[in-house]
Amino acid sequence: MSVVVSTLADLVSYTNTLYEADSTPPSSGDEDYTVWTALFNIAINLWESEEGVLWNELYTTLANAADGTKTTTAGTYSYACPTLISFPASGHVWLGSGVNKTPYKVIKPEELQLYENNSGDWCYFLLDSAPTLEFNPNLTISTGQTINYSLYQKATKLSASTDVIQMSDPMFAVYYALSELKKEEGDTSAASIASQKLEAMKTKNIMPAWYQSDNLLNRVEDGMGLSAFGT
């Protein structure tokens, strides 16, 4: 089954059909286009910030990110993270490739004072305006090792007509925009549909694939104890 991809141009077209009921959507630079785009981006922000939900669409890896330092340099312990990182999504950062990868335990920045004289394989993330990955400075870092970790990213806002919306059901953004456009008319039908779309995405987000176990793993019994990482 193919994945439905919706661009900003698609969203504008859908909204135009539902709101204006004609076949000529507004163009970039038109007031409606600008207002509708702003409403789509508000919908993206609401979707991204939905309480208690981590959207599958926002998980990615450093390798797939558009930026962020992906290989090490000898004697360098600080590396740029992808601009869109929200927080690390794995407990370890890996250096190297193939079977020769080394895991580095991710600690919290506030725990650094407990590790400063430690020679173990650990690292931490500083997620300020210029996010970085920091390795234990007591270690020896060589040149050319691949850096690999998972991350949860901030949702991308729409700007260009070809920008793709990340949510699994883009019609949530369309119906949210439509609900705002019809608010003064007292029409709440679009708001109701938008709410249903959001709830459906939340349900889909936690559904396991066919034959995929939904049991909680025991980290020791399932071979996931700390010994598996050499610590």
CB 166 within 8 A of CB 41: no
Query: Is pLDDT above 70 for 215?
Result: no
- Give the helix/strand (H/E) hosting 152: strand 150-153
Does residue 231 register a pLDDT over 60? no
Least confident piece of the model among 13-27, 99-113, 204-218: 204-218
Domain range annotation of the chain: 8-55+167-205, 58-154
Q: What is the pLDDT of residues 128-185, one digit of tens each?
A: 999 999 999 999 999 999 999 999 999 999 999 999 999 999 999 999 999 999 998 9
DSSP 46-112: HHHT-TT---GGGEEEGGGSSSS--B--TT--EEEPPTTEEEE-SSEEEESSGGG-EEEEEE-GGGG
pLDDT tens for each residue of 69-121: 999 999 999 999 999 999 999 999 999 998 889 999 999 999 999 998 888 99
Where does the pLDDT of residue 228 fall: very low under 50, low under 70, confident under 90, or very high at 90 and above? very low
Q: Which of 27, 48, 23 is nearest to 36 (CA)?
A: 27
Reported as a pLDDT band with limits 50, 70 and 90, residue 213 is low
Predicted confidence band at 225 (pLDDT cuts at 50, 70, 90)?
Answer: very low
